[in-house]
Amino acid sequence: MATRVKDVQTNVEDLVTAREARAPSRQPLAVPIDQPVTFPLELPESEARLRTPAVGQRATRPDGRLHGLGQTQYIDDITFPHMLHAKILRSEYAHARIVSIDTSEAEKMPGVIATLTGAEVPENSFGPTYQDQPILAYPIARHRGDGVAAVAATTEQFALDALEKIRVEYEPLPAVFDPLEALEDDSPKVHGGDTNIYTSKVIKKGDVEAGLAASDHVFERRFSTQMVEHVPLEPHATIASWDGNGRVSIWSSLGRITLGREDLARTLQMPQSRIRLIGTVVGGNFGGKNEITNEPIVALLSRKSRRPVKAIYSRGDEFVSSTIRHPFIMDYTTGVDNEGRILARKIRLVLDGGAYCSWTGTTIGKGSILAPGPYNIDNVLVEAYAVYTNKTTTGAMRGFGAPQVCFAYESQMDDMADALGIDPLEIRLRNGFSENSLSPTGQSLQSVALKESLTQAADRFRWKEWQA
């Protein structure tokens, strides 16, 4: 065994040496370092993987072993002969009409094989709920992360250099950045029409006004949350390659390939049977890789250039052009009796939806349903609105609105506990769901373990000792 461990260490050192040798400061990038990686084949299997019954075992992961040995192939590790690298030019304005795009100078740059603009995308729209988002913006750019043109070149640097030669003429349009301003009648409209509200949700149970009127105490507060990024270690990455039968293979960091292929068939206007979509090992998703992004761009550049094309987002691309978490503005009004029992809860949510819908439908749905918290409340009213703004598109992110509303409903629970002199644990146990409780949508809940989680957490934390 000892020798095997040593082998692994040596290999790691070799890898580090190879990495350093590749660093631009040490050697020109053009020198290929093809360091063979050897690995042990006979590391012992973890006991838990060999035991039956399988369920409940602390089984280790085969992919974890490959990560540990540096053998996992992320898209950045995959390469093909004659492969090109694609880069995307982003909008200079948060809201503008694109008057013209001239790629001719870029095409004359060294190493440049193909360019692409939105007008060349067969069906230039996508989105899981509404297809309101362009693959490459044309003729309107609605936020600064919108791609307006793309280049495929023999190296990433050549592609980046060529982006600077693309001439885009814009006609700037009035923009709106604040979701509350976007609600106003005279605000600029991100997608035209007479409102920026693009989806809304109502949850209504009992009579909230009567419940508030009957309450001994009413608590009101506004809470708000910020935009955050998923920041996966691996940014969005894609390779596309066509064969002589007009069939395209796409390697992608996408987390949902079945629907990804549907979206590709729609945007590329070709049959699903001619598209092979391979979901590689993903270096972190957290909701940000649940819809196509650069896949159609890379596929079209590959078709134009007749070469495999790879695109890997920079960290900057990842921030400005992938989706991010919805900021919420949350107005909570809650009525309780003297014992801290919640009689009514009235909630208004405004979601900053960014420039396109993306997964807002799911976020507003889950956010609204979960907003009253895991509590038995007879009188509930939730009204939620998602509004377009000329900012980064908000979409799916771990929790779909739940971390936002949990911050609000749980902060207010402690406000109420404090005002009424009730232990925060006790006010939650007094109001919390149990088996067969009715949710805000009238659903009878099963396998409810809220109070068990509260009491076990309190016991582990020794909560009662701290409160004494």
Interface residues for other proteins in 226-255 (CB under 8 A)?
Answer: 226-229, 231, 254-255
CB of 416 to other proteins, least distance (A): 12
Q: Is 89 in a helix, a strand, or coil?
A: strand
**Which one of 15-23, 181-189, 215-223, 303-311 is the stretch in contact with other proteins (CB under 8 A)?**
215-223
- E strand intervals along 164-216: 167-172, 197-205
**Which one of 81-89, 106-114, 164-172, 221-229 is the stretch in contact with other proteins (CB under 8 A)?**
221-229
Q: Please, which residue, 154 or 437, has the CB nearer to other proteins?
A: 437
Q: Does residue 351 touch other proteins according to CB under 8 A?
A: no
Count of alpha carbons within 13 Å of 112, Cβ hemisphere only? 23
Q: Does residue 13 touch other proteins according to CB under 8 A?
A: no
CB of 38 to other proteins, least distance (A): 23
Cα–Cα distance, 363 to 395 (Å, whole number): 8
Q: What tokens were used for 121? A: 């995308």
Cα–Cα distance, 341 to 240 (Å, whole number): 58
Closest CA to 298 of 236, 234, 239: 239
CB of 35 to other proteins, least distance (A): 25
**Beta carbons within 10 angstroms of residue 43's beta carbon:** 14
Q: Does residue 225 touch other proteins according to CB under 8 A?
A: yes
Distant-in-sequence, close-in-space partners of 115: CB < 8 Å, separation ≥ 6 = 103, 106, 107, 149, 150, 151, 152, 162, 166
Q: Does residue 259 touch other proteins according to CB under 8 A?
A: yes
Q: Please, which residue, 11 or 280, has the CB nearer to other proteins?
A: 280
Pair 236, 251: CB distance under 8 Å: no
Site for other proteins, residues 175 to 194, rule: CB under 8 A: 175, 177
Q: Does residue 454 touch other proteins according to CB under 8 A?
A: yes
**Which one of 13-21, 114-122, 148-156, 424-432 is the stretch in contact with other proteins (CB under 8 A)?**
424-432
Q: Does residue 461 touch other proteins according to CB under 8 A?
A: yes
CB of 237 to other proteins, least distance (A): 13
Q: Please, which residue, 151 or 382, has the CB nearer to other proteins?
A: 382
Q: Does residue 74 touch other proteins according to CB under 8 A?
A: no
Q: Please, which residue, 169 or 452, has the CB nearer to other proteins?
A: 452
CB of 158 to other proteins, least distance (A): 23
Q: What tokens were used for 257? A: 């390939």
Per-position DSSP letters for 360-388, written without gaps between them? HHHHHHHHHHHTT-SB--SEEEEEEEEE-
Per-position DSSP letters for 235-276, written without gaps between them? PPEEEEEE-TTS-EEEEE--S-HHHHHHHHHHHHT--GGGEE
Among 115, 368, 379, 393, binds other proteins (CB under 8 A): 368
CB of 101 to other proteins, least distance (A): 21
Pair 187, 195: CB distance under 8 Å: no
Distance from the first to the final alpha carbon of the chain: 54
Q: Does residue 326 touch other proteins according to CB under 8 A?
A: no
Q: Which residue has the tokens 């390659």?
A: 241
Q: What tokens were used for 110? A: 């060294």
Cα–Cα distance, 427 to 418 (Å, whole number): 10
Q: Does residue 464 touch other proteins according to CB under 8 A?
A: no
Site for other proteins, residues 95 to 154, rule: CB under 8 A: 95, 143-145
CB of 43 to other proteins, least distance (A): 13
Per-position DSSP letters for 125-142, written without gaps between them? -B-SSS--B-SS--SEE-
CB of 25 to other proteins, least distance (A): 20
Site for other proteins, residues 266 to 305, rule: CB under 8 A: 272, 275-287, 289-290
Cα–Cα distance, 28 to 51 (Å, whole number): 51
Q: Please, which residue, 304 or 348, has the CB nearer to other proteins?
A: 348
Question: What angle do helix axes 402-420 and 360-370 make, rounded to 10 degrees?
Answer: 20
Among 5, 19, 418, 419, binds other proteins (CB under 8 A): 418
Q: Please, which residue, 105 or 459, has the CB nearer to other proteins?
A: 459
Q: Which residue has the tokens 């598209």?
A: 275
Q: Checking DSSP bridges between strand 140-141 and strand 96-102, what pairing results, if any?
A: antiparallel
Q: Does residue 432 touch other proteins according to CB under 8 A?
A: yes
Site for other proteins, residues 370 to 409, rule: CB under 8 A: 370, 373-374, 382, 390-392, 396, 398-400, 402-403, 406-407, 409
Q: What tokens were used for 101? A: 């795009």
Q: Pattern 434-453, binding to other proteins, x per CB under 8 A?
A: -----xxxxx-xxxxxx-xx
**Which one of 110-118, 157-165, 342-350, 420-428 is the stretch in contact with other proteins (CB under 8 A)?**
420-428
Site residue total, other proteins (CB under 8 A): 122
